[in-house]
Structure 1
Protein backbone atom coordinates (compact mmCIF):
# COMPACT_ATOMS: atom_id res chain seq x y z
CA UNK A 1 0.00 0.00 0.00
CA UNK A 2 1.33 3.41 -0.98
CA UNK A 3 0.13 6.39 1.09
CA UNK A 4 1.16 10.01 0.47
CA UNK A 5 0.30 12.68 3.04
CA UNK A 6 0.83 16.44 2.72
CA UNK A 7 -0.40 19.24 4.95
CA UNK A 8 0.22 20.97 8.25
CA UNK A 9 1.67 18.05 10.20
CA UNK A 10 5.10 16.71 11.08
CA UNK A 11 6.61 13.29 10.36
CA UNK A 12 5.44 11.80 13.66
CA UNK A 13 1.88 13.03 13.14
CA UNK A 14 1.92 11.66 9.59
CA UNK A 15 3.02 8.23 10.85
CA UNK A 16 0.30 8.24 13.49
CA UNK A 17 -2.31 9.22 10.92
CA UNK A 18 -1.17 6.53 8.50
CA UNK A 19 -1.31 3.92 11.27
CA UNK A 20 -4.92 4.83 12.04
CA UNK A 21 -5.80 4.59 8.36
CA UNK A 22 -4.10 1.22 7.85
CA UNK A 23 -5.63 -0.26 11.01
CA UNK A 24 -9.10 0.17 9.54
CA UNK A 25 -8.30 -1.32 6.15
CA UNK A 26 -9.07 -5.01 5.61
CA UNK A 27 -6.16 -7.26 4.73
CA UNK A 28 -6.09 -8.22 1.08
CA UNK A 29 -4.03 -10.33 -1.28
CA UNK A 30 -1.03 -8.91 -3.06
CA UNK A 31 -1.97 -8.16 -6.65
CA UNK A 32 -0.23 -10.20 -9.32
CA UNK A 33 2.34 -8.32 -11.41
CA UNK A 34 0.91 -6.78 -14.55
CA UNK A 35 1.86 -8.79 -17.66
CA UNK A 36 3.76 -7.11 -20.46
CA UNK A 37 1.58 -6.28 -23.46
CA UNK A 38 2.47 -7.86 -26.79
CA UNK A 39 4.37 -5.61 -29.17
CA UNK A 40 2.45 -4.71 -32.29
CA UNK A 41 3.78 -5.58 -35.73
CA UNK A 42 2.83 -3.42 -38.72
CA UNK A 43 -0.22 -1.17 -38.86
CA UNK A 44 -3.63 -1.61 -37.27
CA UNK A 45 -6.15 0.88 -38.70
CA UNK A 46 -9.63 1.25 -37.20
CA UNK A 47 -12.42 3.45 -38.57
CA UNK A 48 -15.22 4.64 -36.30
CA UNK A 49 -18.00 5.94 -38.60
CA UNK A 50 -18.92 9.44 -37.46
CA UNK A 51 -21.03 11.84 -39.52
CA UNK A 52 -19.59 15.31 -38.92
CA UNK A 53 -17.65 17.97 -40.78
CA UNK A 54 -14.63 17.26 -38.56
CA UNK A 55 -12.80 13.96 -38.19
CA UNK A 56 -10.62 13.02 -35.24
CA UNK A 57 -7.34 11.16 -35.71
CA UNK A 58 -5.35 9.31 -33.07
CA UNK A 59 -2.27 7.21 -33.79
CA UNK A 60 0.23 5.59 -31.48
CA UNK A 61 1.72 2.46 -29.99
CA UNK A 62 2.86 0.93 -26.72
CA UNK A 63 5.53 2.76 -24.78
CA UNK A 64 7.63 2.38 -21.65
CA UNK A 65 7.14 1.52 -18.02
CA UNK A 66 7.55 4.49 -15.68
CA UNK A 67 10.68 2.89 -14.23
CA UNK A 68 12.53 2.80 -17.58
CA UNK A 69 15.69 4.98 -17.62
CA UNK A 70 14.74 6.43 -21.03
CA UNK A 71 11.58 8.11 -19.69
CA UNK A 72 13.14 11.54 -19.17
CA UNK A 73 14.75 11.53 -22.62
CA UNK A 74 11.38 10.72 -24.19
CA UNK A 75 9.69 13.49 -22.21
CA UNK A 76 12.16 15.92 -23.78
CA UNK A 77 11.61 14.39 -27.22
CA UNK A 78 7.85 14.73 -26.83
CA UNK A 79 8.16 18.45 -26.17
CA UNK A 80 9.88 18.78 -29.55
CA UNK A 81 7.46 16.52 -31.41
CA UNK A 82 4.08 17.65 -30.13
CA UNK A 83 4.06 18.67 -26.49
CA UNK A 84 5.13 22.30 -26.69
CA UNK A 85 2.49 24.09 -28.73
CA UNK A 86 3.68 26.12 -31.70
CA UNK A 87 7.31 25.17 -31.06
CA UNK A 88 6.50 21.52 -31.79
CA UNK A 89 6.98 19.75 -35.12
CA UNK A 90 3.39 18.50 -35.40
CA UNK A 91 1.89 21.95 -34.84
CA UNK A 92 4.26 23.54 -37.34
CA UNK A 93 3.52 21.00 -40.07
CA UNK A 94 -0.22 20.51 -39.58
CA UNK A 95 -1.37 23.96 -38.50
CA UNK A 96 1.20 26.64 -39.29
CA UNK A 97 2.27 25.41 -42.74
CA UNK A 98 -0.98 23.84 -43.96
CA UNK A 99 -3.87 24.95 -41.74
CA UNK A 100 -5.21 21.41 -41.39
CA UNK A 101 -6.09 21.73 -37.70
CA UNK A 102 -6.28 24.12 -34.77
CA UNK A 103 -3.97 21.92 -32.75
CA UNK A 104 -1.91 18.73 -33.10
CA UNK A 105 -0.33 17.16 -30.05
CA UNK A 106 1.67 14.14 -28.94
CA UNK A 107 2.02 12.61 -25.50
CA UNK A 108 3.48 9.73 -23.53
CA UNK A 109 1.88 8.03 -20.55
CA UNK A 110 4.27 5.90 -18.51
CA UNK A 111 2.72 3.32 -16.20
CA UNK A 112 3.59 0.24 -14.13
CA UNK A 113 3.24 -1.89 -17.24
CA UNK A 114 3.66 -0.81 -20.86
CA UNK A 115 2.64 2.82 -21.31
CA UNK A 116 1.31 4.61 -24.38
CA UNK A 117 2.60 6.98 -27.03
CA UNK A 118 0.00 8.82 -29.09
CA UNK A 119 -0.57 11.83 -31.29
CA UNK A 120 -3.97 13.43 -31.80
CA UNK A 121 -5.69 16.11 -33.85
CA UNK A 122 -8.98 16.95 -35.56
CA UNK A 123 -9.41 18.11 -39.14
CA UNK A 124 -12.01 18.65 -41.85
CA UNK A 125 -13.18 15.54 -43.70
CA UNK A 126 -12.03 16.88 -47.08
CA UNK A 127 -8.38 16.97 -45.99
CA UNK A 128 -8.42 13.94 -43.71
CA UNK A 129 -6.30 11.59 -45.80
CA UNK A 130 -3.70 14.22 -46.64
CA UNK A 131 -3.48 15.28 -42.99
CA UNK A 132 -2.76 11.68 -41.97
CA UNK A 133 0.01 11.55 -44.56
CA UNK A 134 1.56 14.74 -43.16
CA UNK A 135 1.23 13.66 -39.51
CA UNK A 136 2.84 10.28 -40.22
CA UNK A 137 5.57 11.86 -42.34
CA UNK A 138 6.29 14.33 -39.55
CA UNK A 139 6.76 11.43 -37.14
CA UNK A 140 9.04 9.65 -39.61
CA UNK A 141 11.13 12.79 -40.12
CA UNK A 142 11.34 13.37 -36.38
CA UNK A 143 12.71 9.88 -35.81
CA UNK A 144 15.26 10.15 -38.63
CA UNK A 145 16.45 13.76 -38.29
CA UNK A 146 19.31 14.57 -35.89
CA UNK A 147 18.32 16.57 -32.82
CA UNK A 148 19.06 20.28 -33.16
CA UNK A 149 21.27 21.31 -30.23
CA UNK A 150 19.79 24.81 -30.00
CA UNK A 151 16.23 23.48 -29.92
CA UNK A 152 17.25 20.91 -27.31
CA UNK A 153 18.69 23.60 -25.06
CA UNK A 154 15.57 25.76 -25.44
CA UNK A 155 13.37 22.76 -24.67
CA UNK A 156 15.28 21.88 -21.52
CA UNK A 157 15.14 25.49 -20.31
CA UNK A 158 11.37 25.52 -20.83
CA UNK A 159 10.95 22.25 -18.93
CA UNK A 160 13.10 23.50 -16.05
CA UNK A 161 11.06 26.68 -15.79
CA UNK A 162 7.80 24.72 -15.78
CA UNK A 163 9.04 22.11 -13.29
CA UNK A 164 8.23 24.07 -10.08
CA UNK A 165 4.57 24.21 -11.16
CA UNK A 166 4.38 20.44 -10.69
CA UNK A 167 4.58 20.91 -6.91
CA UNK A 168 3.08 24.38 -6.45
CA UNK A 169 0.24 23.26 -4.15
CA UNK A 170 -0.40 20.65 -1.48
CA UNK A 171 -2.41 18.63 -3.97
CA UNK A 172 0.35 18.64 -6.61
CA UNK A 173 3.02 17.85 -4.01
CA UNK A 174 0.90 14.94 -2.83
CA UNK A 175 0.54 13.68 -6.39
CA UNK A 176 4.31 13.82 -6.91
CA UNK A 177 5.03 11.98 -3.66
CA UNK A 178 2.37 9.41 -4.46
CA UNK A 179 3.92 8.79 -7.87
CA UNK A 180 7.38 8.35 -6.34
CA UNK A 181 6.05 5.67 -4.03
CA UNK A 182 3.71 4.02 -6.53
CA UNK A 183 6.31 3.66 -9.28
CA UNK A 184 9.25 2.94 -6.98
CA UNK A 185 11.22 6.03 -8.00
CA UNK A 186 14.21 7.22 -5.96
CA UNK A 187 13.25 9.29 -2.92
CA UNK A 188 15.41 12.16 -4.24
CA UNK A 189 13.71 12.11 -7.66
CA UNK A 190 12.38 15.68 -7.41
CA UNK A 191 15.65 17.20 -6.19
CA UNK A 192 17.69 15.33 -8.80
CA UNK A 193 15.34 16.07 -11.72
CA UNK A 194 16.96 19.38 -12.81
CA UNK A 195 20.42 17.81 -12.74
CA UNK A 196 19.27 14.77 -14.73
CA UNK A 197 17.52 16.98 -17.29
CA UNK A 198 20.54 19.25 -17.75
CA UNK A 199 22.81 16.23 -18.20
CA UNK A 200 20.87 14.91 -21.22
CA UNK A 201 22.70 15.32 -24.52
CA UNK A 202 21.37 15.31 -28.07
CA UNK A 203 22.63 11.77 -28.64
CA UNK A 204 20.77 10.58 -25.52
CA UNK A 205 17.51 11.94 -26.90
CA UNK A 206 18.21 10.52 -30.36
CA UNK A 207 18.97 7.05 -29.04
CA UNK A 208 15.77 7.03 -26.98
CA UNK A 209 13.76 8.13 -30.02
CA UNK A 210 15.25 5.39 -32.18
CA UNK A 211 14.57 2.75 -29.55
CA UNK A 212 11.05 3.73 -28.62
CA UNK A 213 9.29 5.58 -31.47
CA UNK A 214 8.07 3.31 -34.28
CA UNK A 215 6.41 4.93 -37.32
CA UNK A 216 6.20 1.46 -38.87
CA UNK A 217 4.15 -0.03 -35.99
CA UNK A 218 1.14 2.16 -35.34
CA UNK A 219 -2.45 1.75 -34.34
CA UNK A 220 -4.45 4.43 -36.15
CA UNK A 221 -7.99 5.26 -35.05
CA UNK A 222 -10.10 7.64 -37.13
CA UNK A 223 -13.54 8.89 -36.13
CA UNK A 224 -14.89 10.13 -39.46
CA UNK A 225 -16.54 9.16 -42.71
CA UNK A 226 -15.86 8.51 -46.41
CA UNK A 227 -12.52 6.85 -45.76
CA UNK A 228 -11.41 3.23 -45.47
CA UNK A 229 -8.76 1.49 -43.41
CA UNK A 230 -7.24 0.21 -46.67
CA UNK A 231 -6.71 3.76 -47.93
CA UNK A 232 -4.95 4.77 -44.74
CA UNK A 233 -2.77 1.68 -44.53
CA UNK A 234 -1.71 2.11 -48.17
CA UNK A 235 -0.75 5.72 -47.46
CA UNK A 236 1.29 4.79 -44.37
CA UNK A 237 3.17 2.11 -46.28
CA UNK A 238 3.88 4.59 -49.09
CA UNK A 239 5.42 6.97 -46.56
CA UNK A 240 7.71 4.21 -45.31
CA UNK A 241 8.58 3.18 -48.87
CA UNK A 242 9.49 6.77 -49.74
CA UNK A 243 11.78 6.90 -46.71
CA UNK A 244 13.48 3.67 -47.77
CA UNK A 245 13.92 4.94 -51.34
CA UNK A 246 15.40 8.22 -50.09
CA UNK A 247 17.87 6.38 -47.87
CA UNK A 248 19.03 4.23 -50.79
CA UNK A 249 19.50 7.34 -52.96
CA UNK A 250 21.68 8.95 -50.28
CA UNK A 251 23.80 5.80 -49.99
CA UNK A 252 24.45 5.84 -53.75
Structure 2
Protein backbone atom coordinates (compact mmCIF):
# COMPACT_ATOMS: atom_id res chain seq x y z
CA UNK A 1 0.00 0.00 0.00
CA UNK A 2 1.32 3.41 -0.93
CA UNK A 3 2.13 6.01 1.72
CA UNK A 4 1.31 8.83 -0.72
CA UNK A 5 -1.84 10.87 0.21
CA UNK A 6 -1.75 13.73 -2.34
CA UNK A 7 -4.23 14.63 -5.07
CA UNK A 8 -2.17 13.06 -7.86
CA UNK A 9 0.45 10.33 -8.02
CA UNK A 10 4.13 11.31 -8.00
CA UNK A 11 5.48 12.26 -11.41
CA UNK A 12 7.16 9.40 -13.23
CA UNK A 13 10.71 9.86 -14.43
CA UNK A 14 10.97 10.93 -18.07
CA UNK A 15 12.28 8.49 -20.64
CA UNK A 16 15.79 9.50 -21.61
CA UNK A 17 16.35 10.63 -25.21
CA UNK A 18 19.42 9.85 -27.26
CA UNK A 19 20.57 12.80 -29.36
CA UNK A 20 17.97 15.24 -28.05
CA UNK A 21 18.34 19.03 -28.24
CA UNK A 22 20.20 20.47 -25.27
CA UNK A 23 20.90 23.98 -24.09
CA UNK A 24 24.44 25.27 -24.37
CA UNK A 25 24.07 26.78 -20.90
CA UNK A 26 24.48 24.11 -18.22
CA UNK A 27 23.80 26.41 -15.27
CA UNK A 28 22.71 29.95 -14.53
CA UNK A 29 21.14 32.24 -17.11
CA UNK A 30 20.17 30.71 -20.41
CA UNK A 31 19.82 33.71 -22.73
CA UNK A 32 23.10 35.35 -23.75
CA UNK A 33 21.98 38.29 -25.92
CA UNK A 34 19.74 41.20 -24.98
CA UNK A 35 17.00 40.16 -27.40
CA UNK A 36 16.90 36.59 -26.12
CA UNK A 37 16.84 37.80 -22.51
CA UNK A 38 14.06 40.19 -23.49
CA UNK A 39 11.98 37.28 -24.78
CA UNK A 40 12.40 35.37 -21.50
CA UNK A 41 11.59 38.54 -19.53
CA UNK A 42 8.39 38.97 -21.55
CA UNK A 43 7.30 35.42 -20.72
CA UNK A 44 8.13 35.95 -17.04
CA UNK A 45 6.13 39.19 -17.05
CA UNK A 46 3.06 37.14 -17.97
CA UNK A 47 3.43 35.30 -14.64
CA UNK A 48 5.24 32.31 -16.16
CA UNK A 49 8.50 32.63 -14.25
CA UNK A 50 7.94 29.82 -11.77
CA UNK A 51 6.36 27.52 -14.33
CA UNK A 52 9.11 28.13 -16.87
CA UNK A 53 11.67 26.86 -14.37
CA UNK A 54 9.99 23.44 -14.42
CA UNK A 55 11.19 22.84 -17.95
CA UNK A 56 14.77 23.99 -17.48
CA UNK A 57 15.99 20.50 -16.60
CA UNK A 58 14.16 19.04 -19.60
CA UNK A 59 15.85 21.59 -21.85
CA UNK A 60 19.29 20.89 -20.39
CA UNK A 61 19.10 17.12 -20.42
CA UNK A 62 17.96 16.72 -24.03
CA UNK A 63 14.29 15.77 -23.57
CA UNK A 64 13.31 17.97 -26.51
CA UNK A 65 13.55 15.80 -29.60
CA UNK A 66 12.90 18.49 -32.20
CA UNK A 67 12.03 22.16 -32.48
CA UNK A 68 10.73 23.82 -35.65
CA UNK A 69 9.82 27.46 -36.22
CA UNK A 70 7.53 28.73 -38.96
CA UNK A 71 5.32 31.76 -39.43
CA UNK A 72 3.54 32.45 -36.12
CA UNK A 73 4.09 28.99 -34.59
CA UNK A 74 6.83 26.90 -32.98
CA UNK A 75 6.32 23.15 -32.64
CA UNK A 76 8.42 20.95 -30.36
CA UNK A 77 8.36 17.22 -29.71
CA UNK A 78 9.24 16.60 -26.07
CA UNK A 79 9.71 13.19 -24.47
CA UNK A 80 8.07 12.73 -21.11
CA UNK A 81 7.38 9.59 -19.13
CA UNK A 82 5.22 7.98 -21.81
CA UNK A 83 6.50 6.10 -24.88
CA UNK A 84 5.17 8.71 -27.32
CA UNK A 85 6.59 12.28 -27.22
CA UNK A 86 4.28 15.17 -26.47
CA UNK A 87 3.69 17.91 -29.02
CA UNK A 88 4.12 21.39 -27.58
CA UNK A 89 3.08 24.42 -29.63
CA UNK A 90 3.87 28.09 -29.01
CA UNK A 91 1.96 30.50 -31.23
CA UNK A 92 2.29 34.26 -31.66
CA UNK A 93 0.23 36.77 -33.60
CA UNK A 94 1.96 37.47 -36.90
CA UNK A 95 2.04 40.92 -38.42
CA UNK A 96 -0.24 41.58 -41.37
CA UNK A 97 1.07 42.18 -44.90
CA UNK A 98 0.25 45.87 -44.49
CA UNK A 99 2.27 45.99 -41.26
CA UNK A 100 5.23 44.34 -42.97
CA UNK A 101 5.19 46.90 -45.78
CA UNK A 102 5.63 49.63 -43.16
CA UNK A 103 8.26 47.63 -41.25
CA UNK A 104 10.31 46.95 -44.37
CA UNK A 105 10.28 50.60 -45.39
CA UNK A 106 11.38 51.66 -41.92
CA UNK A 107 14.19 49.08 -41.90
CA UNK A 108 15.30 50.09 -45.40
CA UNK A 109 15.66 53.68 -44.22
CA UNK A 110 18.14 52.47 -41.58
CA UNK A 111 20.79 50.53 -43.49
CA UNK A 112 22.69 49.80 -40.28
CA UNK A 113 19.78 47.67 -39.06
CA UNK A 114 20.07 45.24 -41.97
CA UNK A 115 23.86 45.20 -41.61
CA UNK A 116 23.63 44.28 -37.92
CA UNK A 117 21.06 41.56 -38.56
CA UNK A 118 23.31 40.05 -41.21
CA UNK A 119 26.12 40.10 -38.66
CA UNK A 120 23.94 38.08 -36.26
CA UNK A 121 23.02 41.03 -34.05
CA UNK A 122 19.62 42.52 -33.28
CA UNK A 123 19.92 46.36 -33.30
CA UNK A 124 19.29 47.77 -29.83
CA UNK A 125 16.97 50.46 -31.22
CA UNK A 126 14.75 48.08 -33.18
CA UNK A 127 12.07 47.98 -30.48
CA UNK A 128 11.79 51.77 -30.78
CA UNK A 129 11.39 51.41 -34.54
CA UNK A 130 8.50 48.97 -34.06
CA UNK A 131 6.97 51.18 -31.37
CA UNK A 132 7.05 54.12 -33.77
CA UNK A 133 4.89 52.04 -36.12
CA UNK A 134 2.44 51.18 -33.35
CA UNK A 135 3.76 47.60 -33.13
CA UNK A 136 5.73 45.50 -30.66
CA UNK A 137 8.51 43.15 -31.74
CA UNK A 138 7.95 40.89 -28.73
CA UNK A 139 4.45 39.87 -27.61
CA UNK A 140 2.95 42.60 -25.44
CA UNK A 141 0.37 40.38 -23.75
CA UNK A 142 -0.85 36.81 -23.54
CA UNK A 143 -3.55 37.73 -26.06
CA UNK A 144 -0.81 37.76 -28.71
CA UNK A 145 0.31 34.25 -27.75
CA UNK A 146 -1.12 30.79 -27.47
CA UNK A 147 0.35 27.66 -25.90
CA UNK A 148 -0.85 24.09 -25.87
CA UNK A 149 0.60 20.65 -25.26
CA UNK A 150 -0.73 17.13 -25.73
CA UNK A 151 0.38 16.12 -22.22
CA UNK A 152 -2.23 15.65 -19.45
CA UNK A 153 -0.83 18.55 -17.36
CA UNK A 154 -3.43 21.33 -17.10
CA UNK A 155 -0.91 24.05 -16.26
CA UNK A 156 0.32 26.39 -18.99
CA UNK A 157 3.16 26.34 -19.60
CA UNK A 158 3.76 22.74 -18.60
CA UNK A 159 7.37 21.54 -18.36
CA UNK A 160 7.27 20.46 -22.01
CA UNK A 161 6.22 23.92 -23.18
CA UNK A 162 8.71 25.52 -20.80
CA UNK A 163 11.56 23.43 -22.23
CA UNK A 164 10.53 24.50 -25.73
CA UNK A 165 10.49 28.17 -24.63
CA UNK A 166 14.08 27.96 -23.36
CA UNK A 167 15.31 26.30 -26.54
CA UNK A 168 13.45 28.91 -28.57
CA UNK A 169 15.17 31.69 -26.63
CA UNK A 170 18.54 30.10 -27.30
CA UNK A 171 17.73 29.80 -31.02
CA UNK A 172 17.08 33.57 -31.02
CA UNK A 173 20.59 33.98 -29.58
CA UNK A 174 22.04 32.21 -32.61
CA UNK A 175 19.89 33.89 -35.28
CA UNK A 176 17.88 37.06 -34.54
CA UNK A 177 16.14 36.70 -37.93
CA UNK A 178 14.09 33.91 -36.32
CA UNK A 179 12.24 36.47 -34.18
CA UNK A 180 11.17 38.26 -37.37
CA UNK A 181 10.33 34.96 -39.07
CA UNK A 182 8.12 34.06 -36.12
CA UNK A 183 6.30 37.34 -36.71
CA UNK A 184 5.69 36.53 -40.36
CA UNK A 185 8.71 37.38 -42.51
CA UNK A 186 11.48 34.88 -43.22
CA UNK A 187 15.13 35.83 -43.60
CA UNK A 188 15.41 35.54 -47.40
CA UNK A 189 12.08 37.25 -48.12
CA UNK A 190 12.96 40.13 -45.81
CA UNK A 191 16.45 40.63 -47.22
CA UNK A 192 15.15 40.51 -50.80
CA UNK A 193 12.58 43.16 -50.00
CA UNK A 194 15.18 45.39 -48.34
CA UNK A 195 17.44 45.03 -51.38
CA UNK A 196 14.57 46.14 -53.62
CA UNK A 197 13.77 49.14 -51.43
CA UNK A 198 17.41 50.23 -51.34
CA UNK A 199 18.08 49.73 -55.06
CA UNK A 200 19.89 52.71 -56.73
CA UNK A 201 17.58 55.29 -58.26
CA UNK A 202 18.29 56.93 -61.66
CA UNK A 203 20.25 60.17 -61.49
CA UNK A 204 18.14 63.33 -61.57
CA UNK A 205 18.92 67.00 -62.01
CA UNK A 206 18.12 69.42 -59.20
CA UNK A 207 15.65 72.14 -60.22
CA UNK A 208 17.52 75.09 -58.70
CA UNK A 209 21.08 74.77 -59.95
CA UNK A 210 21.11 71.96 -62.51
CA UNK A 211 23.28 69.65 -60.38
CA UNK A 212 22.92 65.94 -61.12
CA UNK A 213 22.14 63.68 -58.18
CA UNK A 214 25.22 61.99 -56.72
CA UNK A 215 23.49 59.11 -54.90
CA UNK A 216 24.57 55.69 -56.05
CA UNK A 217 26.95 57.23 -58.64
CA UNK A 218 30.29 57.09 -56.90
CA UNK A 219 31.59 54.55 -59.37
CA UNK A 220 31.45 57.14 -62.18
CA UNK A 221 31.79 60.33 -60.15
CA UNK A 222 35.40 60.98 -61.18
CA UNK A 223 34.98 59.93 -64.79
CA UNK A 224 36.38 62.54 -67.24
CA UNK A 225 34.64 63.03 -70.62
CA UNK A 226 37.28 62.33 -73.26
CA UNK A 227 35.91 64.90 -75.69
CA UNK A 228 36.47 67.95 -73.46
CA UNK A 229 39.99 69.49 -73.24
CA UNK A 230 41.74 69.87 -69.89
CA UNK A 231 43.12 73.38 -69.18
CA UNK A 232 46.89 73.85 -69.23
CA UNK A 233 48.09 73.85 -65.59
CA UNK A 234 50.86 76.34 -66.48
CA UNK A 235 48.42 79.00 -67.52
CA UNK A 236 47.59 81.62 -64.85
CA UNK A 237 44.23 81.27 -63.19
CA UNK A 238 41.80 83.89 -64.42
CA UNK A 239 40.45 86.24 -61.78
CA UNK A 240 36.83 85.21 -61.78
CA UNK A 241 34.96 83.24 -59.08
CA UNK A 242 34.58 80.02 -61.04
CA UNK A 243 38.18 79.88 -62.29
CA UNK A 244 39.04 77.10 -59.86
CA UNK A 245 36.61 74.87 -61.74
CA UNK A 246 38.74 75.29 -64.85
CA UNK A 247 41.71 74.01 -62.83
CA UNK A 248 39.77 70.94 -61.77
CA UNK A 249 38.93 70.05 -65.33
CA UNK A 250 35.62 68.66 -66.51
CA UNK A 251 33.85 66.21 -64.20
CA UNK A 252 30.75 64.24 -65.13
CA UNK A 253 28.17 61.85 -63.70
CA UNK A 254 26.42 59.65 -66.25
CA UNK A 255 27.14 62.13 -69.02
CA UNK A 256 26.07 65.26 -67.07
CA UNK A 257 28.71 67.88 -66.31
CA UNK A 258 29.41 68.50 -62.63
CA UNK A 259 31.59 71.46 -63.58
CA UNK A 260 28.80 73.23 -65.47
CA UNK A 261 26.41 72.53 -62.63
CA UNK A 262 28.72 74.07 -60.01
CA UNK A 263 29.67 77.14 -62.08
CA UNK A 264 26.51 79.26 -61.36
CA UNK A 265 26.93 78.58 -57.64
CA UNK A 266 30.56 79.75 -57.64
CA UNK A 267 29.62 82.89 -59.56
CA UNK A 268 26.88 83.76 -57.08
CA UNK A 269 29.28 83.26 -54.18
CA UNK A 270 31.92 85.41 -55.87
CA UNK A 271 29.50 88.17 -56.69
TM-score normalised to structure 2 length: 0.21
More helix by share: 1
Question: TM-score of the superposition, structure 1-length normalised?
Answer: 0.22
Q: Between the two structures, name the one with larger relative contact order (CA 8 Å, sep ≥ 6).
A: 1
